[in-house]
Chains A and B, each alone.
Chain A
């Protein structure tokens, strides 16, 4: 797994003169469970958009020795990089099983594509077990609960043998129990993959993060373990405007524009 980490150098994203990401450097080791936090508009989602090819960016993003910038979205995805979105996007009219099967299938030959699916591919079975959705596999994804849709999305990354997962606010809108279950799921996943999580929920971050990067106004403000970041005076400044430990209540939890 060595050399498969994510290395970002001097990443810059500009929209019509507004610089959303302003020279970000990041080193995320393989097997890390990294949280990206920061106030609204800090550039967290834009950073993930740039890594996955959704927005044009300058600088360098390397994963497993491959340069990602300039490649189209579906090619980056084929390199083993998967992401989820703030609002869960699953294929509502297809069943859980069909969702996972499609996710597993990029790169299938035309003959396989033209045939009906027979049985359940092994990686799909494994993803169903990991995400706890086995009993729901024949349900249309549209009727799943909010948390289950997020797990299905994560499952759709797992079946592809994704090595880097970028998750955008996976626990937003989840109940306490669902958050705990999601956190445990992320821990299991990060055992043999690299996971990057954008999150506003500080309790969740404190419970599950291995390492944390704080973004502010398009730049990396602070980086380190949860304790290190919490002790950083600049982080407290950004979050609270006063020198004290960040409290969950004071942290903005609204969706990022």
Chain B
């Protein structure tokens, strides 16, 4: 690489990509509007009740992926334990819905407690979940965020990072699932909380109400994507990328990188919690098998395949991977786990930007063959 003193005579390696200003200005809102029309308008019209319900489930995974894109894609935090927060949100919602279901039939205890429980009294920590406001907002979103704050505070302050952070997150997801399995009498154990009938007074067996749940999920996804997009382009988003690139350097500029990472981690946890809460009415169940190690890895694979640093890439990747999973695991149940692992390795190892970066990578490759000079410098 040649070096010059005059700023004007620098070696140009990246010719600026100039899109027409009009298109550039409306690219993002336009894409957002298109997404809204597709999700809220066209999908409910063309998809059967069954397919729409499946899509609602995939979109819940996409909501998790929005958080993963922020924490991992922008912040470099490989969050391999999002199952914990997804589970907290899911269980909080399911506990409330089970209590509400029981109340409809005049019972004080959810059905599984009558089968496996030890007494007639509701465990004290179930009681607050009877309150809809507490369950819907505080417990599904704020509880995962509070847990993430506590965890992140210690983990980031101790400067745990990279693979150690990933392993720690993973271990937590495993521990949480194991704990839930052990509490048969109060959490439903391996079965989880199943057979959920109503959603804030609406019967979930009614297809109309299922469509409403789908619309809520899709709406939440769009809102969170807009919020994440704002974080990405804000000064905080720039700082987060800086922390990912060189944490030490950020520290020497007078920031505490632990706090910068904490914000991304906590926001991602809140999104995972909300996704878990929406998953329950959409699918009708939450169980340890849905939040342990394998699903926790599943949450990041979609983002990895689609492109973790790109919001749209992560969301589409999550939906595509979830769709592939349910299609393939019906036909070849054993093969899916291998394919999942393979996808992860290939995406992280050979295409770190995911499918979203494919265009850029190909374009760069073509330029390299055309122009060996800039190719050598890049």
Q: Is the CB of A117 within 8 A of B7?
A: no
User: Which residues from A are CB-within-8-Å of B255?
Assistant: 74, 106
CA A160 to CA B252, docked complex, whole Å = 11
Q: Is the CB of B7 within 8 A of A132?
A: yes
CA A237 to CA B254, docked complex, whole Å = 41
| A102 in the interface (beta carbon within 8 A) | yes
| B168 in the interface (beta carbon within 8 A) | no
Q: Restricting to B243-283, which residues have a CB under 8 Å from any CB of A?
A: 245-246, 248-256
Q: Is the CB of B238 within 8 A of A139?
A: no
Q: Is the CB of B14 within 8 A of A140?
A: yes
Known: A145-B4, A148-B10. A160 touches B234 (CB 8 A): no
Q: Is the CB of A101 within 8 A of B235?
A: yes
Q: Is the CB of B5 within 8 A of A93?
A: no
Q: Is the CB of A77 within 8 A of B252?
A: yes
Binds B, one of A171-179, A195-203, A225-233: A171-179
Q: Is the CB of A160 within 8 A of B16?
A: no
| A189 in the interface (beta carbon within 8 A) | no
CA A138 to CA B10, docked complex, whole Å = 13
User: Which residues from A are CB-within-8-Å of B239?
Assistant: 102, 105, 113
Q: Is the CB of B253 within 8 A of A91?
A: no
User: Which residues from A are CB-within-8-Å of B14?
Assistant: 139-140, 143
- Residue of B4, B238, B377 touching A94 (CB-CB under 8 A): B238
| B231 in the interface (beta carbon within 8 A) | yes
Q: From residue B216, how far is it (CB to closest CB) to chain A in Å?
A: 26
Known: A89-B246, A138-B16. A178 touches B254 (CB 8 A): no
CA A78 to CA B13, docked complex, whole Å = 35
| A17 in the interface (beta carbon within 8 A) | no
| B362 in the interface (beta carbon within 8 A) | no
Q: Is the CB of A93 within 8 A of B241?
A: yes
| B8 in the interface (beta carbon within 8 A) | yes
Q: From residue B357, how far is it (CB to closest CB) to chain A in Å?
A: 13
Q: Which residue of chain A has the shortest Cβ distance to B236 in the bound complex? A: A113
| A31 in the interface (beta carbon within 8 A) | no
Q: From residue B277, how far is it (CB to closest CB) to chain A in Å?
A: 24
User: Which residues from A are CB-within-8-Å of B248?
Assistant: 89
User: Which residues from A are CB-within-8-Å of B245?
Assistant: 91-94
User: Which residues from B are CB-within-8-Å of A38?
Assistant: none
CA A68 to CA B10, docked complex, whole Å = 40
| A83 in the interface (beta carbon within 8 A) | yes
Q: Which residue of chain A has the shortest Cβ distance to B6 in the bound complex? A: A132
Q: Is the CB of A146 within 8 A of B241?
A: no
- Residue of B3, B11, B13, B253 touching A178 (CB-CB under 8 A): B3
Known: A91-B242, A144-B10, A146-B1. A106 touches B253 (CB 8 A): yes
Q: From residue A77, how far is it (CB to closest CB) to chain B in Å?
A: 4
CA A136 to CA B235, docked complex, whole Å = 20
User: Which residues from B are CB-within-8-Å of A99?
Assistant: 242
Q: From residue B25, how far is it (CB to closest CB) to chain A in Å?
A: 14
Q: From residue B245, how far is it (CB to closest CB) to chain A in Å?
A: 5
CA A3 to CA B12, docked complex, whole Å = 46
Q: Which residue of chain A has the shortest Cβ distance to B233 in the bound complex? A: A116
Interface centre among B1, B241, B252 (most CB of A within 10 A): B252
Q: Restricting to B94-130, which residues have a CB under 8 Å from any CB of A?
A: none
User: Which residues from B are CB-within-8-Å of A175?
Assistant: 3, 5
- Residue of A108, A133, A156, A178 touching B235 (CB-CB under 8 A): A108
CA A124 to CA B238, docked complex, whole Å = 16
Mark A134-152 against chain B: 1 for CB-CB distance below 8 A, else 0: 1110111001111110000
| A114 in the interface (beta carbon within 8 A) | yes
Mark A186-215 against chain B: 1 for CB-CB distance below 8 A, else 0: 000000000000000000000000000000
Q: Is the CB of B1 within 8 A of A117?
A: no
CA A103 to CA B239, docked complex, whole Å = 9
CA A147 to CA B10, docked complex, whole Å = 11
User: Which residues from B are CB-within-8-Å of A74?
Assistant: 251-256
User: Which residues from A are CB-within-8-Å of B246?
Assistant: 89, 91
User: Which residues from A are CB-within-8-Å of B377?
Assistant: 143
Q: From residue A40, how far is it (CB to closest CB) to chain B in Å?
A: 23
Interface centre among A99, A101, A102, A133 (most CB of B within 10 A): A102
Q: Is the CB of B238 within 8 A of A177?
A: no
Q: From residue A126, how far is it (CB to closest CB) to chain B in Å?
A: 16
- Residue of A82, A91, A146 touching B3 (CB-CB under 8 A): A146
User: Which residues from B are CB-within-8-Å of A116?
Assistant: 230, 233-235
Q: From residue B242, how far is it (CB to closest CB) to chain A in Å?
A: 4
Q: Is the CB of B234 within 8 A of A145?
A: no
Q: From residue A55, how far is it (CB to closest CB) to chain B in Å?
A: 13
CA A52 to CA B11, docked complex, whole Å = 34
Q: From residue A104, how far is it (CB to closest CB) to chain B in Å?
A: 9
CA A180 to CA B236, docked complex, whole Å = 37
Q: From residue A99, how far is it (CB to closest CB) to chain B in Å?
A: 8
User: Which residues from A are CB-within-8-Å of B48?
Assistant: none
Q: Restricting to B10-63, which residues have a CB under 8 Å from any CB of A?
A: 10-14, 16
**With contacts A91-B242, A139-B10 known, what are 20 further pairs, Cβ within 8 A?**
A73-B251, A74-B251, A74-B252, A77-B252, A78-B254, A82-B253, A90-B249, A91-B245, A101-B235, A102-B235, A102-B238, A106-B255, A114-B230, A114-B235, A136-B10, A138-B16, A175-B3, A178-B5, A180-B5, A181-B5
CB pairs A–B below 8 angstroms (7 shown):
A91-B241, A91-B245, A102-B242, A113-B239, A143-B13, A146-B3, A148-B10
4 A-B pairs closest in CB distance? A106-B254, A77-B254, A145-B3, A113-B236
